[in-house]
Amino acid sequence: MSKITIGFSTAKTRNPFSWLIRRVEGTPYSHCYIKYYSQKYDLWLVYHASHTSIHFMSYDRFLLKSKIIKEYELEISTEARDNLIKNGIKKAGIPYGALEILGMLTARLMRLWFNLKIKNFLADNQKTQVCSELLYYDLKEFVDFGDFNPELDGPKKIEKAISQVAVLTFPISQG
């Protein structure tokens, strides 16, 4: 068996995009990611959709610009973990869905402010991806996401589903 970490973070510096996502989601975080440990390289790797694309980066570099809010540990088979990494490598370079996220925010605000249910008119059938969409598609084999809609829902619903099957490792409970 192997463990992966699913994390939730926000930008360390003032970032209007992060601020808007946190306001719409009603959470202290605006981003979600998967973290793996590579024994071969003795290095923690972050896999996520951010800035311009889906990509991997070292956890140390990730921490330079990100504030960790929560992390959960999920146990899966070593084969499943290796397949996640392999599929992540195949997806690396898919563009970040900046327009798609604007469509998500617009649809969510229309529902919140005017009680209008509209579709994400900028959804692009996975040609681009945002962080919550990436985690949904990569982890749905291990996590029951219920009524999660990858074209509308964000990190808050990802965390709700993850918290049902994974162990909170950060922040550590003082209970």
Look at the chain and report how many structural domains it folds into. Answer: 1
Tell me, yes or no, whether 108 lies in a domain: no
Residue 142 confidence (pLDDT): 95
Question: What pTM value is reported for the model?
Answer: 0.94
The span from the CA of 18 to the CA of 9, in Å, is 10
DSSP state, residue 87? H
Tell me, yes or no, whether 104 lies in a domain: no
Phi/psi for 32 (5° steps) reads -135, 155
Tell me, yes or no, whether 80 lies in a domain: yes
For the segment 17-45, the average pLDDT, to the nearest whole number, is 95
Phi/psi for 124 (5° steps) reads -130, 25
Tell me, yes or no, whether 6 lies in a domain: yes
Instruction: Give me the helix-helix angle, 131-139 and 78-91, nearest 10°.
Output: 140
Element holding 129 (H helix, E strand): none
Residue 112 confidence (pLDDT): 87
* Number of helices and strands in the chain (H, E): 6, 6
DSSP state, residue 6? E
Residue 173 confidence (pLDDT): 60
Phi/psi for 113 (5° steps) reads -85, -35
Residue 93 confidence (pLDDT): 98
Indicate if the pLDDT at residue 151 is higher than 60: yes
Residue 31 confidence (pLDDT): 98
Tell me, yes or no, whether 39 lies in a domain: yes
Tell me, yes or no, whether 24 lies in a domain: yes
Residue 174 confidence (pLDDT): 52
Domain region containing 80:
2-93+130-170
Indicate if the pLDDT at residue 175 is higher than 70: no
CATH number of the domain to which 10 belongs:
3.90.1720.10
Tell me, yes or no, whether 102 lies in a domain: no
Tell me, yes or no, whether 144 lies in a domain: yes
The percent helix, strand, coil of the chain (3-state, each to 5) is 40, 30, 35
